[in-house]
Structure 1
């Protein structure tokens, strides 16, 4: 059984005010090319098809076009679930007649009959809040995400475990020990969102969505596909792509990563304003950038200057200020007893992390003398 494992498309995503729909369309075109090259038996999408419950029209159109290209035009079975970003009711509209075309989309239901392909049973389990699972199973005790998943898997084992040779679990969860990214929405507070990996021991393979790093967890039979694109600067160093999963006759699982390469990358550039301007003039780029400025002095409108050479700057930070937390701590005693020049020196050294030069001290002293005397600054 050979299938492609993907997830976390987040269609309609906006990153720092920039709509990513054009980049998402290009990435999905690359996915179709991978499908044409690999000829998988099925394509799995493990949740977060959209970025929000009510997606923009262009995101809905893109999902429909992609599903049609995979399922109708290429005739490849498509198995998908909803994630915590999706509206389960909206996405699963038409679920009953989707199945007649081998498009299996579980958005609202608890475990049901699995999808059987090539003697492999796919158990499609959408993201559900523990309170929903508790109500469905009439459980009196409170459930966290681990307890809810335990209930679901017990139900699968009891009522929906058939004679298929291999069993694949498709879900959307945060496995304990996984590596998160800042663009993922929290499922719960504290440790209540975590699910133990031991619950998935009965399955030949577990194909998950939610965490955006394709190597978010190190496990032979459990994997995250990662997100379609880089959706935060914390993901700047992460590879993006899909996994080709090949389950051999004896149950051995072969996993191989197929990368996606967007036209515009998401990167972080660090340096002084002058250094970055020079680099941008010699090597222009329209990548999505976060600029980390190392300058220690005052800068006049650095964003306007930097965008002349880097048109797609989405975020800018002053690293020297950030390292100190951007704040200075002066006690009431300091403020009452120290001269303005001494207070400014303390402020300067805490913010810049540099020693106060004698030339600076003389200039500051002259400036304060003029201010206190009511004179004008030059």
Structure 2
């Protein structure tokens, strides 16, 4: 907790972005893995620009009219699966999300942010800017990390950037685990997704949405290792943090101690994954990566910065109309899409 507080109060001398994006949609769509399929196999929680749809192509930064992210030039889309609680009686309930610490666009806490995620773009680490040139992503770029088919501890340990933290408070950091926490957490569960930061410099995507990237990620916001010759271009290190408010279920844990949380694809914590579609307007992300700003020093309402920002109320106004109309909340007898998943 102490280290995290120091990070948030650091001077404006190291380039790094940390900002909130409220929820833009929550539904069964997946334009990367299942383009054009309505509905997709499982529910996702999505943040970012309102160009999000089942078949996203081209320069996303030029297609949206609003964004749920703090920076108004960021029309990218970021998404993960949704966490559900499985009751002993076999029913399911979506776990609500809550905002991270100090994410108001003025650097203060903003409890009225509509759920969503915390997004990071870092260069080296939180104590040095590094000496490498960081190349921003290009229009049309996209990638994924992790996979819902991974279901063993060995699989999870092989991806050090995909972790969970059992939150003692909203500021808890460290003590990361490769699976869901094995006991109730006082302030919920934080899911962490670190993407690879080495690009082949040629392909904006690949058939598996991962081969054009190479991961040297060490996790824990440590500097990623050197890029190999096959993927020589260093791009920003992207990370997501999602705060899942599991506290309402703390008194409902199964008596046998069995893990009650599942992802919306009916998978355990080992199969966590995340998707990214680049959508920053013009050269805005490259400008930020070329700057020496850090966190809210990169821009906030009433203060000049390298990036333009909007208020939390403006973030929350942006939304995507549901293409897939189905119940995803309340107590459900099965997860959305579960019949298709199990072949029923």
Query: By the TM > 0.5 criterion, same fold?
Result: no
Structure whose residues are more often helix by fraction = 1
TM-score for both structures, normalised by structure 1: 0.23
Higher RCO by CA contacts (8 Å cutoff, separation 6 or greater): 2
Larger radius of gyration: 1
